[in-house]
A = this chain, B = another copy of it.
Amino acid sequence: MEKRVEAIADMNVDFAQWYTDVVRKAELAEYAETGGCIIYKPYGYAIWELVQAALDKRFKETGHENVYMPMLIPESLLQKEADHIEGFAPEVAWVTHGGAEKLQERMCIRPTSETLFCSFYANDIQSYRDLPRLYNQWCSVMRWEKTTRPFLRGREFLWQEGHTAHATAEESLEEALKMLDVYCEVSENVLAMPYIKGQKTEREKFAGALKTFTFESLMHDGKALQSGTSHDFGDGFARAFDIKYLDKDNKQQYVHQASWGVSTRLLGAIIMVHGDNNGLVLPPPVAPIQVIIVPVAAHKAGVCEKAEELRARLSKISRCKLDNSDKKPGWKFAEYEMKGVPIRLEIGPKDIEQNQCVLARRDTGEKITASLDNLEQTISDTLQNINQNMYDKAKARLESNTFTATDLPALKNILDTTPGFVKAMWCGDDACEVRVKEEATATSRCMPFEQEKISSTCFVCGKPADKMVVWGRSY
C-alpha cells in the first residue's frame, strides 16, 4: 500500500523508528516519568481489554479460576527454588523500606509468581480431592530491564499467569500443552497471527521448568517474537516447596505443576505483524473501533442525520463510532487509518440519493460501494473477511520467510540478507547452540512439534542430528 502519511517513518527504511512512531501516533502508549515504564493510553489499553476478554473467556471455559496474589515476595520465599532464584534475582526490584522503617527482610516486586502460588498450594492442597487446582491471575509484574521498548520489553508489564497443580506428571504436561493450544487458537482467530509452536531447548527454557513450550510469531522485519509460553514443572517446585497430597491409597505424593502466560507483548506483536506504512492495522476482534463513520459534505441537508442513523444501526452489531467533528474528511481518513480501524464508512449526499455508502477496508485499501439495505450483514461479512485475509497474508509472509540451512554460514547469511525463521538440524549439544548465538547472533526459537528432516547432520558441528530446530533473531 502507498505510504500516505508523513507522521511516521517508512517501515522498510527504519523499522524500529516506524514501530515507535506507530505506538505514539496511534496513541497506544507514552513514555512515563518512571524510567523504563510506559503509560497505556486509552486506545492501547482498550485493545488490551479486548485481548484479555478473549483469553479470560477461554480460561474460564477450560475450568480455570481467577485469583490474586500479593505483588511483593519476601526474599526467603524467592530463594526456595534454586534455578528460579538464579534466573530472576538479577532483574528484580527490591523494596527495603516501609514508610520510614527498614524492613527486617527485603521483598521483591513479583517478576512472576510461581513462589507465591507454591507457598499457597503447600497449605491449601491436602488430598487428591483438592486436585487439580486451576488458577490464573491478571496482574502487572516487574523485571529490571536495561533496555526497554514499549510493549516488547519493559520494566513493568501487564500479563496473566496461570499456575496449576495436578496429581500426576501426565496431567501437568497435558495442561501445559492444552494452554499452549488455547493461546494458539486465540493467536489465529482473534489476533489473525500465524505462529510456529514447539518446545524450547534446555538453554532457552524457563528458570525452574522441566519443559517450556512456546508459540513464536514472525514480525514484519523478519525478527521472531516469543508470543507466549507454557511450562511443565513436573514436581520440581513441589519438592522445593513441599507441596504434597494424600492419594487414594493414603500415600503422600508430590503434586505436578504447570504455568503459562501471555502479556501486553501481544500488542507489540499485533503492531509488527499487521502494521503498514500508514500505521496500525487491527484485527477486527480486538479493534476498539471496528467501523468509523465519516460523513462527507456533512453540511449538506440530511447527511449528519443519515450518518447518525447508520451509527445507531451498526452499533448493534459492531463497535461503531461516528466522527462528526468539524475536522476535514481527509484528516479523519488518515487518523483512523493510523489507528488501524478495520472499516471506514463514508456517507455523503450522492450516496444517500442512491441508498448506498462507501466502505474502505484498512487491510487492503480497497473501496466497496455497499447498499444501505442489509448493511449489517455486509459489515459483519466484511469484518470476518478482513480477519481471514489478515491471517492469510501474515501466514503467507511467515511461510515465504521461513528458510532452511545445512551449515552455520548459510544460516548467518540468510539472517543477514533475508531475515526470517531458519529451519536447521541440531545434534542437541548445548555447545552448538552457544556457537549459533556467538557466530550468527541467533537463538533457537523452538523445536517445532511438526518436525521435518532438513538434513541428517547438525548444521553447526556436522555430527548426526535428528532434531529440527527453528532459529532466528528475536525481540
Contacts and interface: CB of A to CB of B under 8 A. Distances in A.
A123 B107 CA distance: 34
A160 to B, nearest CB: 13
A436 interface: no
Contacts of A109: 71, 95, 109
Interface string A41-61: 110011011000000000000
Contacts of A45: 65-68
Given A90-B100, A95-B94, A100-B90, A34 B73 contact: yes
A450 to B, nearest CB: 36
A93 B89 contact: no
B93 A98 contact: yes
Contact of A107 (B34, B139, B158): B34
Contacts of A123: 30
A39 B93 contact: no
Nearest to A90: B99
Interface string A301-314: 00000000000000
A390 to B, nearest CB: 26
Given A72-B34, A96-B97, A97-B94, A120 B39 contact: yes
A206 interface: no
B66 A156 contact: no
A252 to B, nearest CB: 22
B98 A95 contact: no
A37 B96 contact: no
Contacts of A91: 98-99
Contacts of A72: 34, 37, 93, 142, 156
Contact of A96 (B40, B69, B96): B96
A49 B34 contact: no
A388 interface: no
A100 B146 CA distance: 12
B119 A70 contact: no
A65 B156 CA distance: 21
Contact of A39 (B32, B70, B107): B70
A68 B40 CA distance: 5
Interface of A: 30, 32-35, 37-42, 45-46, 48-49, 65-74, 77, 89-100, 107, 109, 116, 119-120, 123-124, 135, 139-140, 142, 144, 155-156, 158
Given A34-B73, A42-B65, 7 more contacts: A32-B69, A32-B120, A45-B66, A70-B156, A71-B140, A72-B156, A109-B109
